[in-house]
Amino acid sequence: MGRPADEAKREAVLTAAAKSFFEHGYAGSSIEQIAADAGVSKVTVYNRFGDKRSLFAAAVERECEQMRESMKVPEIPSGDLRDRLTAIAEAMVAFLSRPKMIQFERRVAAETEHEPAVGAAFLAAGPHRMMRAFAALLAAMHDNGEIQVENPELAAEQFASMCKGIGDLERRFGAPDDLKRNRERIEGAVEVFCRAYAKR
């Protein structure tokens, strides 16, 4: 009976909440502003999410879902080993460099100490998922006989870490993107990885 809840409004609130929380931080966001941005009454926000903390948690969870979807396992292009590694590296770096991702990381990290579950959810949905997929890919390459890796998880971490270098750190602290340096990092990572692990 009665009027059913408008799910579109729920989405609108979450979108506005995510935008505000990840732009202005938790303490710097107000529910009234979020409600206004969502074109919704403040009471509706409270009726549906109950609490500021709960709203924050819901926003993070939704963002993690979107991240899960947008993170395709890098498909294996055919061709030279070096070319394939380069393609994967470029996809990874591009994914991690998006300004949205950087801000999302900043905010989630800042709130993790108050809400450890939030940090754990992010790790599981993002980095850990990505590393597992990449490690599986390396294991397959090992079975193919292209490379020789005893510890695919470690090798995956090493490759990804070299590709990022301190670029992600610099981005987090506002340094402008240096595309030339990124290219150097990727080429260097491929080179070192091949020297260490390529067969032949």
Partner DNA sequence: GACAAATTGAACGCCTCCGTTCATTTGAAC
Partner DNA sequence: GTTCAAATGAACGGAGGCGTTCAATTTGTC
Partner in contact with 30, chosen from a copy of itself, DNA, none, beta carbon below 5 to 8 Å by kind: DNA
Told to check if 110 binds DNA by CB under 7 A, we report no
Told to check if 42 binds DNA by CB under 7 A, we report yes
Partner in contact with 101, chosen from DNA, a copy of itself, none, beta carbon below 5 to 8 Å by kind: none
Q: Are 86 and 190 in contact (CB under 8 A)?
A: yes
- Alpha-carbon span 105 to 112, nearest angstrom: 10
Q: What residue type is assigned to position 69 of the chain?
A: E
**CB closer to DNA out of 40 and 138:** 40
Partner in contact with 31, chosen from a copy of itself, DNA, none, beta carbon below 5 to 8 Å by kind: DNA
What are the tokens at 35? 């409600």
| 126-131 own/partner pairs: CB under 8 Å, 24+ apart | 126/64, 126/67, 126/71, 129/68, 129/71, 130/71, 130/92, 130/160, 131/156, 131/157, 131/160
Segment interacting with DNA, rule: CB under 7 A, options 46-54, 59-67, 129-137, 178-186: 46-54
Told to check if 46 binds DNA by CB under 7 A, we report yes
Site residues (vs DNA, CB under 7 A):
1-6, 9, 29-33, 39-44, 46-48, 50-53
